[in-house]
Structure 1
Amino acid sequence: MTAPIETTGSAAEAQPEAVLTGVKQSQIEGRSLGQIAWTRFKRDKVAVAGGIVVILLILLAVLSKPIQAFFGLDPNEFHQDLIDPALLAPKGDWGGMSWSHPLGVEPQYGRDIMTRIIEGSWVSLVVAVGATLLSVVIGVFFGVVSGFYGGWVDTVISRMMDTFLAFPLLLFAISISAALQDGAFGLEGLPLRIAVLIFVIGFFSWPYMGRIVRAQTMSLRNREFVEAARSLGARGPFILFRELLPNLVAPILVYSTLLIPSNILFEAGLSYLGVGIAPPQASWGGMLTNAIDFYRNDPMYMIVPGVAIFVTVLAFNLLGDGLRDALDPRSK
């Protein structure tokens, strides 16, 4: 049998802390969940690029009026001298592109396309973000209540979701928008149209968010932290808003970023059909509508707003996918 090795001196008295001699405490600090998610997100270069584009689009929409005022731009200014009267198309190549009009001018009237793209950006984002916020608020409330309480409450709310999903949303939006064009609720003109679009799109699309939140709530309501809150005497409202909602932030945020581009496309579609944003107010969907009659003589008039919609939708989708991967604790 091997005798135990005797140690003397400093070696025998060495403490575990000696292993970390010279190592600063800040180097072994843990990371929060937010820091971990941010690290994951930064690794996804495609999602970061999408986020940068989204930030630039938001800045463009917020600063559209100051930009136009600073450079003296007018989205409704006519340039008839740049239009060929025989073809009603811009003179020159590529839709009349020049240093004065980098994206060309529109047919028939000669209005600057770049200025109208800038003007239309805030309309599309205001409608999309407003409708998304409305649908998120309604969907989260009914979804978390339905998933937490269950029973007859879940049955009633679930059937209400099915009823809303059964509505032909496009036809209903067309009829409501057409019926309220003249004035309603003390509003008229552009504010009325924006308010109607936000209400129609947001109010009738909340069941999609509601179903996602309901499923997530049902998976969380029997977890240990919820049982611990119950054992301490917490009631339903406290558990809903202090325990469950913080754990639902990730799926709500991810789905919201994916819902915004869908609402942008829906607003563009309504404007395309003539029941969205009325001229002369610029909107990307309205520009596509006007381009139908001139796409043979001036294809750039259709390409430019189409690319603007495509880039915006793609950027939000890439950002949403990146956030989903970053906030998913099972991601590697």
Structure 2
Amino acid sequence: MTAPMTTAGNAPEAPASPSPAKTIEGRSLGRIAWTRFKRDKAAVAGGIVVILLILLALLAGPLESLFGLDPDQPNTDLLDADLGGLPLGDWGGMSADHPLGIDPLQGRDLLARVVDGSWVSLLVAFGATVLSNTLGTVLGVMAGYYGGWVDTVISRLMDVFLAFPLLLFAIAISASLQGGAFGLHGLPLHIMVLIFVIGFFNWPYMGRIVRGQTLSLREREFVHAARSLGARGPFILFKELLPNLVGPILVYSTLLIPTNILFEAGLSFLGVGIQPPQSSWGGMLADAKNYYQVDPQYMVVPGLAIFITVLAFNLLGDGLRDALDPKSN
């Protein structure tokens, strides 16, 4: 039997090697949530506005120094004495030096006052949210996990706090502590009182959400596995349950912050929140209530600041909820 004849240049072709299989890259839950979040253009826009507002609040002082903004500097020469102190010119005295106009009280720059009031509103809102979320999360997870008499006591405590007429109670406490308390006076006292009043009496809302989530999580396999390995209650609460509650807590926090901003603005509008000379959005609206017919610009500017801030946080919160819990839709 002879070997097959081959000629030069006509060598038999080698069998084609199979192409390597394309590896499938795994994605974490955070990456999947981020992919979902990026698809929501409104939520992304809200997140960008929120980041800009936070930067504005953190850099309010340096920005005022850089651009020469003084929220308390009067410009009485720009007010028309014959018209009862209304700003000269159109649109509330808008000009290159005062892009948003001036107030009809002392001619103070509205842009400077809005920037100066941003850090107060966000500080109170974030501080109150952290306080209420901390209390609500700890008590809610305890009520949901232990059940029994612990759940009964904490749940009835939530009902008691929810039954409080919060607005009237906040007005009474804020008004009674205006002079000084706990070694604090002036602006630091007003900020601490607002954070305490808003945060301490709002924790049951977070507590109920966390309790409901915990009732579902405590029956999951990973909790039973931790118990079978000898893990005690505190370990399961803080190492097993709380990490799985980060999503709901984060989502509700972004929805609670704008509520706290509105509550702070409402108290300042009623005169029991941030006091002059410190500017605040609610205080500016209170000053503008007597001028809205003749100088609507004075009410529009702080009103738009509150509206944009609340809308941005709500859009961000809705986007986070859809991204972290798509089954909720």
Quote the residue 2:5 is aligned against.
Answer: none
Cα distance in structure 2, aligned partners of 1:240 and 1:287: 45
Correspondence 1:209 to 2:222: no
2:155 is aligned to 158
Q: Deviations over 1:129-187 (max 9, x none)?
A: 00000000000000000000000000000000000001100000000000000000010
Alpha-carbon separation, structure 2, partners of 1:280 and 1:196: 18
Q: Which residue matches 1:72?
A: 68
Question: Which residue does 2:218 correspond to in 1?
Answer: 221
Q: Does 1:107 align with 2:104?
A: yes
Query: C-alpha distance in 2, partners of 1:291/1:108?
Result: 9
Q: Which amino acid letter does the alignment assign opposite residue 262 of structure 2? A: L
The structure 2 residue matched to 1:58, chosen from 41, 54, 59, is 54
Partner of 2:166: 169
1:294 is paired with a residue whose SS is: coil
For 1:292 and 1:246, locate their aligned partners in 2 and report how far apart those are by CA, in whole Å: 47
Q: How many Å apart are 1:330 and its aligned residue?
A: 2.8
Amino acid at match of 2:47: G
Q: What do residues 57-86 of structure 1 show as CA deviations (whole Å, max 9, x unaligned)?
A: 000000000101112221000000110112
User: Who is 2:227 aligned against?
Assistant: 230
d(CA) in 1 for partners of 2:275, 2:19: 73
Residue 262 of structure 2 is aligned to residue 265 of structure 1? yes
| Pair 1:40-2:31 in alignment | no
Aligned equivalents of 1:237, 1:20: Cα separation in 2: 49
Alpha-carbon deviation of 1:331? Answer: 7.0
Residue 325 of structure 2 corresponds to: 328
Distance in 2 (CA, whole Å) between partners of 1:323 and 1:235 is 32
Taking the aligned partners of 1:231 and 1:98, their CA distance within structure 2 comes to 72
Q: State the 1:108 CA deviation.
A: 2.4
C-alpha distance in 2, partners of 1:107/1:212? 46
The CA distance in 2 between the partners of 1:108 and 1:251, in whole Å, is 45
Alignment of 1:4-19 (within 5 A): 18=18
2:30 corresponds to 1:29: no
Superposition map of 1:234-253 within 5 A: 234-253=231-250
Alignment partners' CA distance in 1, 2:327 and 2:29: 13
| Corresponding position of 2:188 | 191
Matched, 1:148 2:139: no
The amino acid across from 2:211 in the alignment is R
Provide the secondary structure at the position in 1 that maps to 2:82. coil
- Gap runs ≥5 in structure 1: 1-9
- Is 2:91 the counterpart of 1:86? no
TM alignment of 1:307-326, pairs within 5 A: 307-326=304-323
User: What per-residue deviation string (whole Å, max 9, x for no partner) do you get for residues 266-308 of structure 1?
Assistant: 0000000000000111000000000011111110000010010
Aligned to 2:6: none
| Inter-partner Cα distance in structure 2 for 1:306 and 1:220 | 42
Letter in structure 1 aligned against 2:315: L
Alignment RMSD: 1.6
How far, CA to CA, are the matches of 1:242 and 1:142 in structure 2?
A: 16
Q: Taking structure 1 as the reference length, what is the TM-score of the superposition?
A: 0.93
Assess, with a 3 A threshold, how the Cα gap between structure 1 residues 136 and 238 changes in structure 2: closer, same or farther: same
Residue 135 in 1 paired to residue 132 in 2? yes
* Distance in 2 between residues matched to 1:294 and 1:275, nearest whole Å: 21
**Which residue does 1:3 correspond to in 2?**
none
Q: 1:19 Cα deviation (Å)?
A: 5.1
Paired with 2:211 and 2:309, the residues of 1 have a C-alpha distance of 29
- Is 1:289 paired with 2:289? no
1:117 paired with 2:114, answer yes
Number of matched pairs: 316
Aligned-pair CA distance for 1:329: 4.9
